[in-house]
Structure 1
Amino acid sequence: MSRLRSALWLPLFDELADPRAVANLAADAEEAGWDGCFVWDHLSWREPVQQVADSWTTLAAIATATERLRLGPMVATLARRRPAKVARETATLDRLSDGRLTLGVGLGSDRFGGELSRTGEQLDDRQRGRMLDESLAILTAAWSGEPVRHRGEHYTVDDITFLPQPVQRPGVPVWAAGFPGNVKPIRRAARLDGFFPINLEHPDQLAEVAGALTELRHGDMGSYDIAVSLPAGVDPLPYAAAGATWWLTEFDPGVRLDTVRGVLRDGPCQRPRPHRHPDRVGRPGA
């Protein structure tokens, strides 16, 4: 079993709606030996949540406050974003972070904040799935640095070259989210760089998912990632044995800063804590 990497997974609501506070958390997590800091990507959430931060601005703050952590939205609903704009955002953020961005993507949901229905976005899951796949095709073309000529069902990009390219080649790693029992998300994820299964209930369930992905990828799982979200009190090691490569800490929406700090101080899974580099640039708000 390879080492399981550990990341904070932060809902950017209420006390965590301050990007400086989240950047400080990320810097402290890096010092404590954590491997990543991922953030929720939402426009709104149901009560009692009142404050919601923009994920991309917060990720830029995290990128400038850290040197080693992987970071990214987990997950972005690409169907409510213009892929040409996402191409610029991802390349810029990957360069700002020196190649540490991972892009989590998914269909999204209207259940928790009405952020699709209340903004006039597409509500049909199948349509959003097609929009997601078309967006991913545009992103792959854009990250290549070659002119993008795309006329599809939902989007047009007419002869635009997206430079500068991301630091990571051939592009930013993409993890797709989906429910383990649904075939389409797993097939989509098999074509990408990782899978983020939602609502896992048992390590055996993850083992089935890992087996399906291994088959779809013809055994090529060397650099492939499978990320699981688990509360801090749940032992992630059985999930690592079942195929997980990342553990993302699961927090309730509206979690308090002190609660996150407590989990952060408890430390990551199976990770020695490095010393802070003496020449490290101070984090925002410090």
Structure 2
Amino acid sequence: MKFSVTFGAVGAGRDPRGLAELARMAEDSGWDGVFLEDYLVYQGDVAEPTYDPWICLAAMACATSRITLGTTVTPVPRRHPWQLAAEAVALDHLSNGRLILGVGIGDPDDPFLTGTPRELAEKLDESLEIITALWTGEPVRYAGKHYQLDGAQLTATPLQRPRIPIWVGGNFLVPAVRRRILRWDGSCAYKGTTAAPQQTTPEDIRHLLAARQAPRPDGADPTDAPDALGAAAGVDGFEVKASGGDPAAFAAAGATWWGRWIAPGPVAEAHQILRTGPPRLT
């Protein structure tokens, strides 16, 4: 099992320079990954300055050499998919192939998102098809409900092969979220709503992995049958990131990552958590 921490790019000590130092400290203290939440205004709190997480990740990539970097998660419908595809490629090269792209539809209270949850989900699914097609370096023709491309091409491709891994976030109790998790390369999903969160359990992990291994019945709609496997993922392996609870129990259930969220606050508290290092499995 690998261990990560997640920060918001918000407040004192968490600007690009400060997060680069935190990432360096995490690497030196034995952590395996650092992820950033992706907000323009952190959880609607305009009192604290929020910094662009992609600029922060670039600074973190330059300050480290080993740890995995990524987002948990980028609200893809807030972005143009071709812009996100190009930025991810650049960051993948800058980090020497250490990027993971966490994706979701975004927070319902995000003031920069427009559309119903269904529309946001449609945009996410279309965007992921476009992004992964653009990562091949070949011309892309795409005619969707929300996005259209006619031969567009990105000539820079990811350093990672076959591409940058995509982890899916969101509430995995929602059938469409589970379908999306099974379609792509990993899960960084939570359980319950932000208003009524629930603790993910090792049994949840076992159930997800069992669904991953189950063949999809002929003719089944993955959205209606969320525990059936959709299209095969393009990256070898399937990563499951858990948080909270007993890391050893999650490891025994098959989770490959365990993450700790470090809330905004005094940077000295973050330093203490990082220097303590990741949990030890017994």
TM-score, reference length from structure 1: 0.84
8 Å CA contact 1:19, 1:57 repeated in 2: yes
Aligned 1:103-118 pairs, distance under 5 A: 103-111=101-109, 115=110, 118=111
CA 255–134 in structure 1, closer or farther in 2 if over 3 Å, else same: same
Superposition pairs of residues 1-286 of structure 1, within 5 angstroms:
4-44=1-41, 45-47=43-45, 49-111=47-109, 115=110, 118-119=111-112, 121-199=113-191, 200-215=199-214, 216-217=228-229, 223-230=237-244, 234-252=245-263, 254-270=264-280
Displacement of 1:108 in angstroms is: 0.9
Q: Distance in 1 between matches of 2:270 and 2:258?
A: 15
CA distance in 2, matches of 1:91, 1:203: 34
Report the aligned-residue RMSD: 2.2
Deviations 1:137-193 (A, max 9, x none): 001110111011222211122222212111012211000012232221111111111
CA contact (8 A) 2:171 2:189 kept: yes
C-alpha distance 109-123 of structure 1, shift in aligned 2 (>3 A): farther
Structure 2 CA distance for partners of 1:161 and 1:201, relative to 1, 3 Å: closer
Task: Report if the CA contact (8 A) 2:100-2:167 is conserved.
Answer: yes
Measured in 1, the distance between the counterparts of 2:170 and 2:277 equals 28
Matching residue's letter, 1:108: G
Q: Distance in 2 between matches of 1:75 and 1:41?
A: 6
State the Cα distance separating 1:49 from its structure 2 match: 4.8
What stretches of structure 1 of length at least 5 have no aligned partner?
272-286
Deviation (angstroms), 1:18: 1.2
For residue 245 of structure 1, what is the amino acid of its counterpart? T
Q: CA deviation at 1:55?
A: 0.6
**Paired residue type of 2:18:** A
Give 1:12 shift: 1.2
CA displacement at 1:203 relative to structure 2: 2.3
Asked if 2 retains the 8 angstrom alpha-carbon contact of 1:37 and 1:69, the reply is yes
Question: Is the Cα contact below 8 Å between 2:188 and 2:240 reproduced in 1?
Answer: yes
Q: Which amino acid letter does the alignment assign opposite residue 207 of structure 1? A: R
Percent same amino acid among aligned pairs? 36
TM-score under structure 2 length normalisation: 0.85
- Note if contact 1:143-1:170 (Cα within 8 Å) is conserved in structure 2: no
* CA separation of 1:16 and 1:108: change in aligned 2, threshold 3 A: farther
Which amino acid in the other structure matches residue 185 of structure 1? Answer: V
Q: Kindly report structure 1 stretches of 4+ aligned residues shifted beyond 2 Å.
A: 45-49, 199-222
